[in-house]
Amino acid sequence: MKLISILLLFSLAFQGCAQRKNESVALSSEDSRDYTIETVVDNLNNPWGMAWLPDGSMLITEKSGSLIHFKNGYKTEIENVPDIYVRGQGGFMDVALHPNFEENGWIYFTHASSDGSGQGGNTKLIRARLQNNALIDVESLYKAEPNSRRGQHFGSRIAFDKEGYVYFSVGDRGNRDVNPQDISRDNGKIYRLMDDGSVPPDNPFVDENKAKKAIFSYGHRNPQGMARHPITGKIWTHEHGPKGGDEINVIKKGANYGWPLISYGVNYSGSKFTDETERPGMEQPVYYWVPSIAPCGMDFVTGGKYPEWNGHLLVGSLKFNYVELLKLNGETVIGREKIADGVGRVRNVKLGPDSLIYIAVEGQGIVRLIPKN
């Protein structure tokens, strides 16, 4: 009995996953399939970002550097896309429409860019307008510095808050011991800007001489999911851990999320890089995964097409080829469920304007879930 108890405790510690209050939350592998999976866009390689124009057509970024307009079943490649630095995890990444798009026409993008100092590339935020299947009025809003030839941890997702500020994420670029904890350096950060790229006067570090003024939070590893909570308006993110320790975080002004000083993960070799999972003054995640699921893309379910899922959080899994539904009570995860199990490597998951769930799958395209009832 003693051996069985030890094995049971080990199993719970390995699978479990969240703050102490969520240690008992298990992943349900049951997929009731109260929906069918319908292909919307086929023959895509790595569809990183997707956004919907007011007419219901889609803009899709391909990591390799192309921007696709999908309308009435046809794909058109948009011209005048800026030069994209493609290396490792870097390339053409997210796309988001300005909250007042119908009035101003602004579309926001993140991509890896070789502009600026040093060899290689780093993440850049731009905006542009769309006219006659071409980008016009292209403006650079922020470019992380310096460039690096490393291929990992570019981020990057975009979200707008209720006040119209634009948030975007940039990973630590594989330099964990220098970038994330240093607010005088880019990378390993969540940034907040005015919609024109200027720095809000109430950003947390605007009065610190050497700080990067656009930083809103720091101590991040590689955030590849970002969404605004539909009720509270708070910005939520998730980020890749190393081996274990993928996290969901609620972003707070000026907060330190601890990477790499605290973590629930270990090196890919299995060795430890820290013995600490918490420190005073550092944020704890809302949830964390051990083992890692390699999260990418996230959104909240609203709109009533999936009544049992309403208000809960969707997170894509690159590693395990499914979408995870995290059931929430406020900011506490109280349940987990696999949906679209086996769909493929999920690069993004978003709720469309029709309130249906859209899933971008590497090497395939974009599918959506159609409720049976």
The burial class, CB within 10 Å (0-12 / 13-18 / 19+), for 273 is middle
Q: Give catalytic residue positions.
A: 153
Centre a 10 Å sphere on the Cβ of residue 53 and count the other Cβ atoms it contains: 17
Cβ(128)–Cβ(138) under 8 Å? Answer: yes
Cβ(219)–Cβ(197) under 8 Å? Answer: no
Strand order from edge to edge, sheet including 58-62: 47-52, 58-62, 67-71, 74-77
Instruction: Give the 3-state secondary structure of residue 34.
Output: coil
Closest CA to 28 of 250, 252, 335: 335
- Torsion of Cα atoms, 200 then 205 then 210 then 214, to 10°: -40
Q: Using the 8-state DSSP alphabet, how is residue 234 labeled?
A: -
Task: Give the CB-side neighbour count of residue 288, counting CA atoms within 13 A.
Answer: 23
Classify the C-alpha dihedral 60-61-66-67 as positive or negative: positive
The tokens 């049976």 sit on which residue? 372
Give the whole-angstrom CA distance, residue 284 versus residue 302.
26
Q: Provide the terminal-to-terminal Cα distance of the chain, rounded to the nearest Å.
A: 47
Closest CA to 356 of 309, 307, 303: 303
**What radius of gyration, in Å, describes the C-alpha atoms of the chain?**
20
Instruction: Give the 3-state secondary structure of residue 9.
Output: helix
Using alpha carbons, list the distances in angstroms from residue 145 to 57, 150, 152, 198. 34, 13, 15, 17
